[in-house]
Amino acid sequence: MRTHYCGSVTESLIDDTVTLCGWVDRRRDHGGVIFLDMRDREGIVQVVFDPDTEEAFALADKVRSEYVLKITGRVRARDGATVNPAMATGKIEVLGKALELLSSAATPPFPLDAHHSVGEDVRLKYRYMDLRRPDMQKNLMMRARITSSVRRYLDEHGFLDIETPILTRATPEGARDYLVPSRTHAGSFFALPQSPQLFKQLLMVSGFDRYYQIARCFRDEDLRADRQPEFTQIDIETSFLEELDIMSLTEGMVRTLFKEQLDVELGEFSQMSWHEAMERYGSDKPDLRIPLELVSIDDLMASVDFKVFSGPAQDEAGRVAALKVSGGASLSRKEIDDYTKYVSIYGAKGLAWIKVNQLSAGVEGLQSPILKFMPDAVVEQLMTRLGAVDGDIIFFGADKRSVVNEALGALRLRVAEDLGLVQAGWAPLWVVDFPMFEDDGKGGLTPLHHPFTAPNCDVDALRADPAAALSRAYDMVLNGTEVGGGSIRIHQQDMQQAVFDILGIDAEESIEKFGFLLDALKYGAPPHGGLAFGLDRLVMLMVGGQSIRDVIAFPKTQSAACVMTDAPGQVAEQQLRDLSIRLRQSAVSAPESQ
Ligand code: ASP
């Protein structure tokens, strides 16, 4: 139908006749001349109709925003004064000769230009309109280029794209499953995969050696800005490679991606142990663009006459840490109160602080409600350790180690954002040496990754002190976001059994849930490992988006619903009967709670 995209009409086409198809972005009537800004996925071009072309002019006079038109015309240079440097096609315009109306349009539910901010509910209800906006078009086109670049890289490195089932059994990744009732096995359910983890391991047992899949995963968990019930992973598994090989291969993939798509050189990624990340940044996904660090001061505070500090300082499981913020002495009481409220979300019972007004004046030059509890010598040592200077504020966390890390880790991000301390650019790193397990809060242990992650010790050492064991896992972190994570897997049955035992999964349960995996490990499983990248997060970072919903064509709302198709929806009684399902009364009478 057309010869060119609207957005690709350039000066090289001057004097040529072109045929364009697209949407009317804007129509303007300038005293006898009609201007139509015509839009398609490649951009916008200005088309002019004058009364000489009578028929086309009459039609152009009638069209409205979002009508779909086919236009034939001649490309001409714009007069000097009318050149629009803000437009990619701003040096030319098309003199319209013929116009065909392909489709009229009702008034759009919201203006599609970038200047109007529109509520997300409306955007999602009319997503097909929202997706016409140039920003959304750019995001999804970038996403397509990213997956294409990833596929190219992995194909070139000998990876095979193999699909795994969507109707399957639960794969434990720590979330709730989405279940699908089986009609043919009344009373039984499939689970949608939380990840292809077990299948990709089985593909290694089958000898495929290098697998990848751009895989949809499903997790029924409470949603946040960077979570969706269904999301996409770049899922990878390899055999006979050690963690450093896998890390270097996939780091190469991300480096290539950034170079190809953003012309950014990421350079070599640094590595940091989980322990160091928690100590210095209070997070296992530290944002290294922020020049603020947590500093341990347990030794200084162990003997002060202030129980709030000395208690945790003397406790093995406690921590006292300081976070120095340059320029923070100017924070108001109200701002500090707000931060105190903020850290309470993470369990902190308060937020002690010292403002450094004039260091040369000694303790007199400091301002804080807690100074009276601390000997001058301790304060002096504290200032030296932190390298404090005039204008700083120092925040303190004193509690259980996990509370201090979470609270000060979150405060570090928040304050940096508020005070404009986040440096521009990209800060990638690998976090390694994770603990195998963490406390499940009920006296047991739970895997920090998933239960198929290999420890870096033998079975006996693992059984002897599981809480101290480290895993062979690695996470790729970019600007404070975990973009990927994986591990070397357990490939021996006795080790897998030991992990199940430690997790309290008894023989019966392990056979019921993972019997096929334990069986497969008997038949010659190669040493293997891999990882998965969160494609949505990666694309979000690369387009500078705020939410993964901005890079997913048809995302769900915060309450895991699709307001456009009205899913999830009710089903006919007969469908439920076929599935041998009867709804509880409360669910029948309260469909909105679905
Ligand atoms: N299956 C893991 C996940 O979804 C990634 C991996 O270990 O490869 O997080």
Helix and strand counts by DSSP (H, E) for the chain: 18, 22
* Residue 116, pLDDT score: 77
* Residue 594, pLDDT score: 39
Share of the chain above pLDDT 70, in %: 98
Does some domain include residue 416? yes
* Residue 485 alpha carbon to ligand 1 centre in Å: 6
* Residue 202, pLDDT score: 98
> Among the listed ranges 217-226, 304-313, 425-434, which one has the minimum average pLDDT value?
217-226
Residue type, 408: L
* Residue 593, pLDDT score: 42
Q: Is any ligand 1 atom within 6 A of the Cβ of residue 455?
A: no
* Residue 518 alpha carbon to ligand 1 centre in Å: 19
Torsion of CA 309, 314, 318, 320, to 10 degrees: 40
* Residue 31, pLDDT score: 79
pLDDT in tens, 1-36: 999 999 999 999 999 999 999 999 999 998 789 999
* Residue 460 alpha carbon to ligand 1 centre in Å: 26
The closest residue, in CA terms, to atom 1 on ligand 1 is: 197
* Residue 436 alpha carbon to ligand 1 centre in Å: 15
300 and 220, same structural domain?
A: no
Helix (H) or strand (E) holding 22: strand 17-30
CATH at 369: 3.30.1360.30
Average pLDDT taken over every residue of the chain: 95
CATH at 95: 2.40.50.140
Is residue 211 within 8 Å of 237, Cβ to Cβ? Answer: yes
Average pLDDT over residues 523-535: 98
207 and 93, same structural domain?
A: no
Q: Is any ligand 1 atom within 6 A of the Cβ of residue 531?
A: yes
SS3 of 420-477: the string is CCCCCCCCEEEEECCECEEECCCCCEEECCCCCECECCCHHHHHHCHHHCEECEEEEE
* 103, 122, 139 - which closes a domain: 103
Q: Is residue 25 classed as helix, strand or coil in its secondary structure?
A: strand
Does some domain include residue 522? yes
The model carries a pTM of: 0.93
Does some domain include residue 400? yes
455 and 500, same structural domain?
A: yes
pLDDT in tens, 95-106: 999 999 999 999
237 and 194, same structural domain?
A: yes
The closest residue, in CA terms, to atom 4 on ligand 1 is: 195
pLDDT in tens, 507-528: 888 888 889 999 999 999 999 9
Q: Residue 185: pLDDT above 50? A: yes
* 225 confidence band (pLDDT: 50, 70, 90): low
Instruction: Please choose from 164, 531, 537 the residue to mutate so as to test ligand 1's pocket, defined by most ligand atoms within 8 A of CB.
Output: 531
* Residue 172, pLDDT score: 81
Q: Is any ligand 1 atom within 6 A of the Cβ of residue 139?
A: no
Instruction: Please choose from 197, 436, 528 the residue to mutate so as to test ligand 1's pocket, defined by most ligand atoms within 8 A of CB.
Output: 197
Q: Is any ligand 1 atom within 6 A of the Cβ of residue 484?
A: no
Q: Is any ligand 1 atom within 6 A of the Cβ of residue 530?
A: yes
Cα distances (Å, whole numbers) of residue 135 to 42, 86, 514, 525, 557: 11, 15, 45, 47, 19
CATH at 267: 3.30.930.10
For the chain, the distance separating the N- and C-terminal CA atoms, rounded to the nearest angstrom, is 46
Share of the chain above pLDDT 90, in %: 89
Q: Is any ligand 1 atom within 6 A of the Cβ of residue 282?
A: no
* Residue 590, pLDDT score: 52
* 589 confidence band (pLDDT: 50, 70, 90): low
440 and 418, same structural domain?
A: no
Q: Residue 224: pLDDT above 90? A: no
Q: Write out the DSSP string of 375-404.
A: -HHHHHHHHHHHT--TT-EEEEEEEEHHHH
416 and 320, same structural domain?
A: yes
Q: Which atom of ligand 1 is nearest to the CA of 195?
A: 4
Q: Is any ligand 1 atom within 6 A of the Cβ of residue 487?
A: yes
Average pLDDT over residues 301-313: 94
* 422, 443, 458 - which closes a domain: 422
Are β-strands 473-478 and 481-488 bridged in parallel, bridged antiparallel, or unpaired?
A: antiparallel
Average pLDDT over residues 570-576: 95
Residue-number span of the structural domain to which 349 is assigned: 290-422
Average pLDDT over residues 471-480: 98
294 and 261, same structural domain?
A: no
Average pLDDT over residues 338-353: 97
Instruction: Please choose from 159, 171, 235 the residue to mutate so as to test ligand 1's pocket, defined by most ligand atoms within 8 A of CB.
Output: 235
Q: Is residue 534 classed as helix, strand or coil in its secondary structure?
A: strand
Q: Which atom of ligand 1 is nearest to the CA of 237?
A: 8
For 470-557, where are the E strands, in sequence order?
473-478, 481-488, 528-534
Instruction: Give me the phi and psi of 364, to 5 degrees please.
Output: -60, -30
Going by C-alpha positions, the residue among 36, 35, 5 that lies closest to residue 19 is 5
pLDDT in tens, 234-282: 999 999 999 999 999 999 999 999 999 999 999 999 999 999 999 999 9
Does some domain include residue 133? no
Does some domain include residue 542? yes
pLDDT in tens, 46-91: 999 999 999 999 999 999 999 999 999 999 999 888 999 988 999 9
261 and 168, same structural domain?
A: yes
> Among the listed ranges 117-126, 255-264, 310-319, 402-411, which one has the minimum average pLDDT value?
117-126
Q: Residue 430: pLDDT above 90? A: yes
The closest residue, in CA terms, to atom 7 on ligand 1 is: 486
* 76, 103, 130 - which closes a domain: 103
Does some domain include residue 173? yes
Q: How many domains does the chain have?
A: 3
**Residue 579 in tokens:** 């599935």
367 and 266, same structural domain?
A: no
451 and 332, same structural domain?
A: no
Average pLDDT over residues 110-133: 89
249 and 304, same structural domain?
A: no
pLDDT in tens, 334-343: 999 999 999 9
Is residue 38 within 8 Å of 23, Cβ to Cβ? Answer: yes
Does some domain include residue 176? yes
Q: Residue 318: pLDDT above 70? A: yes
Q: Is any ligand 1 atom within 6 A of the Cβ of residue 173?
A: yes
236 and 154, same structural domain?
A: yes
Q: Is any ligand 1 atom within 6 A of the Cβ of residue 529?
A: no
Distance CA 113, CA 129 (A): 11
Does some domain include residue 122? no
Q: Residue 592: pLDDT above 60? A: no
